[in-house]
Amino acid sequence: MDRIIRLGGALLLTTLLAACGGGGGGGSSGGSGAGGSSGGAASSAGAAAASSSSKPGASVPAPAPLAAGEAAPSEADAVRFLTQASFGPTVRDLAVVRGSGFRNWLVAQMMAAGDNYSAYSTAVHTTGLKDFCAEYGAFPSEYYRKNCWQEYYSAEPLSREFYVSALSGADQLRQRVALALGQIFVVSNSEVSGTYGLRDYHQMLLDQSFGNVRELLGAVSRNPAMADYLNLVNNEKAAPNENFARELMQLFSIGLCELTADGRLAGGSCRPTYDNNIVREVAFALTGWTYPAGGVSAWGSSGWKNPTYYRGQLLAVPAQHDTAERSLPGGGKLGGGHTPAQAMDAVLNALFQHPNIAPFIGKQLIQHLVTSNPSPAYVGRVSQAFASGTAFGIGSGQRGDMKAIIAAILLDSEARGDSKSATDYGRLREPAQFIAGLLRAMNTSSDGAGFYYWWGEEFGQAIFNANSVFNFYPPDFPLAGTSLVGPAFAIENPNSTLARYNLSNRMLYWNGLAAGGFPGASGSTADISSWLPLADNASSLVSEIERLLVTGGLPADIRSGIVDAVAAWPVSSTSSSWRTERVRTAFYLILASPEYQVQR
């Protein structure tokens, strides 16, 4: 055991000191009951356990098989692909991808019916009570009365559902893309109080994940939770708040500086895409919107302003809309005499046609799915897919087609390949991806609880509760001592690194997470039983787990140390516990390695 502790500590130190390309910034992860690679003994031993049951509601057709004579993807690249396009490989999914090919898998995922999150109660905004938690008398049970704020106002119930979907949802690609979109188009529980509103916003992102960027901009801009979060709602024509107008341009569409199609600064320096006058012009153009009908306030309505209500889309109030001629981003003009809807469409159309939007949004999606430092050529190819609406035969041919953009990102030569040895390639697994991947790798049965208030806070990423509209971390966070960026490293520190180890330890050695007190709680329990038959041979056990979890394999010295630590548990003829300890050790140390912490 001392050997294992020493090795784990060495890996932790290596992880903390490593840069994005050569190692990660995290610590340990969990053990897997999911099974080993797609071949060998682990495949047959773990295949059944690895087949995580799909969450009800998500329906994905079986992908078409490889064409006759078409080569199957390599095992390493299939693992890399599933790491990018899902919340982590499983034996079953690996076999499906290798039997269908990357493109066919994407097409099937894009045809998925998709997941529908629970329709959380709107009672917080429809009872007419000043203090809902104190006065609302129709709670379904005593639990909900005592935990009113958590269950009706916070993102905690939605976080539970998010992790269940990430763990067992069949629509993995949609879930992964929606997470990325939610970190670009941020709405946060830090300002928006209403579980149903946060749910409806995330559901909108899920529904728009394979749509069109223009439609996405419209859905985001008319969403009442976003309008509340960034002060678009109830803006009077005489004195509009500029917050949404500014962030719509800075964060949601074109960014601060003029860009070339490949994402580089036009002219080699920052030339502003807009000035404060344009912010004012857009703010005036977006006046005259209030909440949808349905909300009730203890103080009644305030003239034209509806009470807070997050279900549906914003309601236009023409009398409160500024109708003057206004300048648009990119140099166009909005003629006078327009309606609120006409003005919003004009603003969004101008942003959608702006040359910056393709590289600005495309590069961030690459960073969330594939690598933190994509080459300009990679960004340029994704921008071309944005403009043409098609990539690799996927897409409608319409500008801004999300299917084409995603295909361009995931099928690009810079994303695919057996080996990625460049030191600037890869991305640190952000906490939400790390947690979900850990659960999938361990074949965990989970109710999704515990990853918001406790573990989410420990990791620095309580999902749906970003600290600001700038997300949990910025896309340009610099890696000290390098010219690289490592976005997720912004929330990685010794404490959050140790949290990765602690969660792994909890799942492997302390029976997971206990069930909480909410109705239907089951906790989170890992199942590593399918790996036990492989424990006789320490080297083979490590190899099978390594194939599934570490694309490109472990360095020889780290792998040798892990094999030695696994073999340190002696074979016993009187007890079977040595098998369990070998599997635990193998998973704990492999998932602790920088090669796992950094997605490559």
Residue from 394, 246, 267 nearest 254 by CA? 246
Q: pLDDT tens for residues 330-371? A: 999 999 999 999 999 999 999 999 999 999 999 999 999 999
Vertex 514 angle, CA 512 and 515, to 5°: 135
Strand partners, 525: 445
The answer to whether the Cα torsion of 570, 573, 574, 578 is positive or negative is positive
Task: Calculate mean pLDDT across residues 276-300.
Answer: 93
**465: phi then psi, degrees, rounded to nearest 5:** -135, 50
Contact 59, 112 (CB under 8 A): yes
Who's near 503: CB < 8 A, 6+ residues apart? Answer: 28, 29, 30, 435, 438, 455
- Inter-residue contact 29 to 594 (CB < 8 Å): no
Which of 77-86, 413-422, 439-448, 559-568 is least confident?
Answer: 413-422
* Token pair for 57: 């509601």
Closest to 559 measured CA to CA, from 505, 600, 596, 509: 596
Please tell me the distance from the alpha carbon of residue 241 to that of residue 192, in angstroms, as a whole number.
17
pLDDT value of position 555: 93
> Taking a C-beta distance cutoff of 8 angstroms, is the pair 21, 30 a contact?
no
17-56 pLDDT, tens digit per residue, is 343 333 333 333 333 333 333 333 333 233 222 333 345 5
Q: Which of 123-132, 488-497, 507-516, 565-574 shows the lowest mean pLDDT across its residues?
A: 123-132
Query: What share of the chain has pLDDT > 70, as a percent?
Result: 90
**DSSP line for 355-403:** TTHHHHHHHHHHHHHT-SS--HHHHHHHHHHHHHS-BTTBS-SSTTBHH
Q: Strands 333-334, 326-327: parallel, antiparallel or unpaired by DSSP? A: antiparallel
pTM assigned to the model = 0.91
Question: By C-alpha distance, which of 499, 377, 347, 356 is closest to 435?
Answer: 499
User: Predicted confidence band at 2 (pLDDT cuts at 50, 70, 90)?
Assistant: very low
**Band of residue 138 on the pLDDT scale cut at 50, 70, 90:** confident
C-alpha to C-alpha distance for 100 and 97, rounded to whole angstroms: 5
Tallying the residues shown for the chain, one arrives at: 600
- What is the distance between the alpha carbons of residues 332 and 297, in angstroms, rounded to a whole number? 41
Q: Whole-angstrom Cα distance, residue 55 to residue 573?
A: 41
Closest CA to 560 of 593, 600, 596: 593
pLDDT digits (tens, 9 = 90+) for 208-250: 999 999 999 999 999 999 999 999 999 999 999 999 999 999 9
Q: How far apart are CA 583 and CA 534, in angstroms?
A: 8
Residue partners of 309: CB distance under 8 A and separation at least 6: 122, 125, 126, 224, 291, 292, 293, 294, 295
Structure token digits, residue 204 = 């909108």
Q: Nearest Cα to 443, choosing from 321, 506, 531, 363?
A: 531
> For residue 303, what pLDDT band results from cuts at 50, 70 and 90?
confident
Q: How do residues 144-155 score in pLDDT, each as one tens digit?
A: 989 999 999 999
